[in-house]
Structure 1
Amino acid sequence: MANYRIPKEITTELKINKALYLFDLIFMIALLVIAMVLGKVVHSSLEIPFYIFMGLIGVISIIRPHTNPQKRMYQAIFIAFSRKKDTYCSIDIPEDETEGKINHG
């Protein structure tokens, strides 16, 4: 009878090294392919600046903002643009953080 190992969780991202995840590498490769395809329609004198620009866009897109380290920058930008601007929600502060900080006068 075969013995199969079932992972306990599957949501953890695969890390290649200290700062690079597998998704980031695939994202950068896909962006490079898109840049190479679009590079054919860019004027020949602007090809190198175009590739530098696309590289910067790729690096900035995969950076994780320190305010929300679970998301990447492109996800944070998408959420910011797609949310409803006229909808607000309260931010609850736990009581143990507000204790002693309330100024009544």
Structure 2
Amino acid sequence: MTNYRIPKEVTSELKINKAIYLFDLFFIMGLLLGAMVLGNLVITSLKHFFYVFVGIVGLVFILRPYTNPQKRMYQALLIAASRKKETYCAIDDPTNERNENQ
């Protein structure tokens, strides 16, 4: 009878090395593939600048903001762009709660 090992968690991301995750690699590859497809729409003398620009934008998009390290920058930008501007919510200050309890 074959013994299968079932992983305890399946939601963690796969790391290729210390700095890059598998999703990040596929994201950059997909972005550069899209840039190559759209490269025909760019003036020939500006193609290299276009590829560099798309690469830099891709690297910025996969960075993780220090305010929310669970998300990537493109996710944080999507959340900020899609939220309702006229809706406000209170942000609790943990230092203020400690002062009130004393």
- TM-score, with structure 2 as normaliser: 0.89
SS at match of 2:58: helix
Question: Percent of aligned positions with the same letter in both sequences?
Answer: 62
How big is each residue's C-alpha offset from its partner over 1:25-68, in whole Å with a ceiling of 9 and x where there is no partner? 00000011001101111110110110111011100000000000
Q: Which runs of 5+ in 2 are unaligned?
A: none
What letter is aligned with 2:38?
Answer: L
What letter is aligned with 1:60?
Answer: V
CA RMSD in angstroms, aligned pairs only: 1.6
In the TM superposition, 1:54-65 aligns within 5 A as 54-65=54-65
Give how far 1:99 is off.
2.3
1: CA distance, partners of 2:91 / 2:11: 27
Match of 1:18 in 2: 18
Structure with more helix by fraction: 2
Question: How many residues align structurally?
Answer: 100
1: CA distance, partners of 2:8 / 2:40: 46
2: CA distance, partners of 1:97 / 1:24: 39
1: CA distance, partners of 2:44 / 2:35: 14
Give how far 1:2 is off.
2.0
Match of 1:53 in 2: 53
- TM-score, with structure 1 as normaliser: 0.87
What letter is aligned with 2:54?
Answer: M
What letter is aligned with 2:25?
Answer: L
